[in-house]
């Protein structure tokens, strides 16, 4: 009977050989016979190898996403007078669909904020680095302004007169955010009743805080990645339905600024409200999220692999295989 020689000793220098003698594929996937520690290894350790999009790429994604949001949402608001009784619902659905589509398409690049308030909330909650706040805001404003400009130059010259308005700027003011004389309720009631400054501030603040809270909660690592864009869109649409009669639903300083730029002077004078209230609401939501949620490293808004967060602030990413996604693209 022949003697069978034992298996050769694993070569410690072989990069495909694990410490227990099991050979793994070079792609990072463990073989079927690998131990539990190697079986849980992700396919692509994006969160630990710093393979994240550049700031230029992220800013570009934010500009594009905000462009889509404003083009659809403000565009529908602009022609709402032609839609009849279903105008408010169509505007809300437009915002919801635009936010969801943008987050799905671009969230893996930038986090899918498309809103200065969401960016601030993410920074306050520790979900995004403060150094990206101003670049993101600038990109969002540029994207929103370009979308508003595209809408403005395409308004038919005679349409404003047919609607009883004096020029394109007066027509664009119907899609802008405002209170008092510029509240949608004031126009609908022909000046008999309106929402003044205090109700506008309160509702914009509370609605934006709810929106940011939903986005931060839905993007937790304990929630499926596919849920965040849907939750973000549904929340945006529902809150638009609530706030449209009061202020035409700002909730987004970039959207409010873009519409005000092409409206008459009265709307521009009220723009500060639609920066102050959403940003305060976002900061409150960010603080609440930071205070009442787990310290386990979360995703940045709609991302599994956080390209915005500072890896040094998440020391347990490497130890927790669940905290690092297996990206297939």
| Distance, CA of 220 to chain centre | 14
Question: CB atoms < 10 A from the CB of 234, how many?
Answer: 15
3-state secondary structure 204-216: HHHHHHHHHHHHH
Tell whether the model's pLDDT for residue 259 goes beyond 90: yes
Distance in angstroms (rounded) separating the CA atoms of residues 285 and 209: 5
Multiple choice CATH, 52-301, 1.20.59.10, 1.20.1080.10, 3.40.640.10, 3.30.420.40 = 1.20.1080.10
Please count the residues of the chain.
Answer: 329
Contacts of 257 (CB under 8 A, 6+ apart): 141, 144, 145, 271, 274, 275
Q: List the structure tokens of 124.
A: 């306050």
Element (H, E) at 119: helix 116-124
Tell whether the model's pLDDT for residue 189 goes beyond 50: yes
> What is the rounded (10 degree) CA torsion for 143, 116, 225, 31?
80
Distance in angstroms (rounded) separating the CA atoms of residues 327 and 305: 9
Averaged pLDDT for residues 258-267: 92
32-74 pLDDT, tens digit each: 334 444 444 333 333 333 578 999 999 999 999 999 999 999 9
- The neighbouring-strand residues paired with 17 are 23
Distance in angstroms (rounded) separating the CA atoms of residues 94 and 308: 28
Tell whether the model's pLDDT for residue 172 goes beyond 80: yes
Say what the pLDDT of residue 78 is. 93
100-116 pLDDT, tens digit each: 999 999 999 999 999 99
Distance in angstroms (rounded) separating the CA atoms of residues 142 and 285: 25
225 or 291, which is more confident: 291
Tell whether the model's pLDDT for residue 317 goes beyond 70: no
The pLDDT confidence band at residue 328, using thresholds 50, 70 and 90, is: very low
Distances (CA, A) of 221 to 4, 141, 266, 317, 325: 51, 29, 44, 11, 10
Domains of the chain: which residue ranges?
16-49, 52-301
Contacts of 21 (CB under 8 A, 6+ apart): 10
Distance in angstroms (rounded) separating the CA atoms of residues 47 and 304: 9
Lowest mean pLDDT segment, chosen from 94-108, 247-261, 292-306: 292-306
Give the global pTM.
0.76
Distance in angstroms (rounded) separating the CA atoms of residues 312 and 314: 5
Tell whether the model's pLDDT for residue 166 goes beyond 90: no
């Amino acid at each position: 009977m022949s003697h069978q020689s034992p298996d050769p000793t694993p070569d410690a220098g072989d990069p495909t050989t694990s410490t227990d003698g099991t050979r793994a594929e070079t792609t990072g996937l463990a073989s079927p016979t690998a131990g539990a520690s190697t079986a849980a290894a992700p396919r692509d350790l994006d969160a630990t190898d710093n393979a994240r999009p550049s700031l230029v790429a992220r800013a570009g994604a934010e500009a594009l996403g905000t462009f889509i949001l404003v083009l659809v949402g403000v565009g529908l608001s602009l022609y709402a007078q032609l839609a009849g009784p279903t105008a408010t619902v169509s505007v809300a659905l437009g915002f919801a669909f635009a936010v969801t589509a943008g987050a799905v398409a671009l969230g893996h690049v930038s986090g899918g904020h498309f809103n200065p308030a969401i960016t601030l909330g993410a920074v306050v909650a520790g979900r995004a680095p403060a150094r990206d706040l101003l670049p993101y805001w600038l990109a969002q404003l540029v994207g929103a302004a370009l979308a508003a400009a595209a809408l403005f130059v395409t308004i038919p010259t005679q349409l404003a007169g047919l609607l009883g308005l004096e020029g394109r700027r007066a027509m664009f003011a119907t899609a802008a955010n405002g209170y008092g004389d510029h509240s949608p309720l004031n126009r609908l009631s022909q000046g008999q009743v309106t929402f003044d400054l205090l109700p506008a501030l309160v509702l914009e603040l509370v609605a934006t805080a709810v929106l940011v809270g939903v986005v931060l909660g839905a993007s937790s690592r304990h929630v499926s990645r596919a849920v965040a864009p849907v939750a973000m869109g549904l929340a945006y649409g529902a809150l638009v339905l609530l706030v449209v009669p009061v202020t035409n639903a700002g909730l987004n300083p970039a959207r409010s600024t873009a519409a005000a730029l092409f409206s008459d002077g009265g709307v521009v004078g009220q723009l500060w409200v639609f920066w102050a209230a959403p940003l305060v609401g976002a900061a409150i939501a960010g603080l609440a999220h930071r205070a009442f949620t787990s310290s386990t490293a979360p995703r940045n808004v709609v991302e599994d692999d956080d390209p915005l967060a500072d890896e040094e602030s998440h020391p347990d990413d490497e130890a927790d295989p669940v905290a690092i996604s297996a990206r297939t693209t």
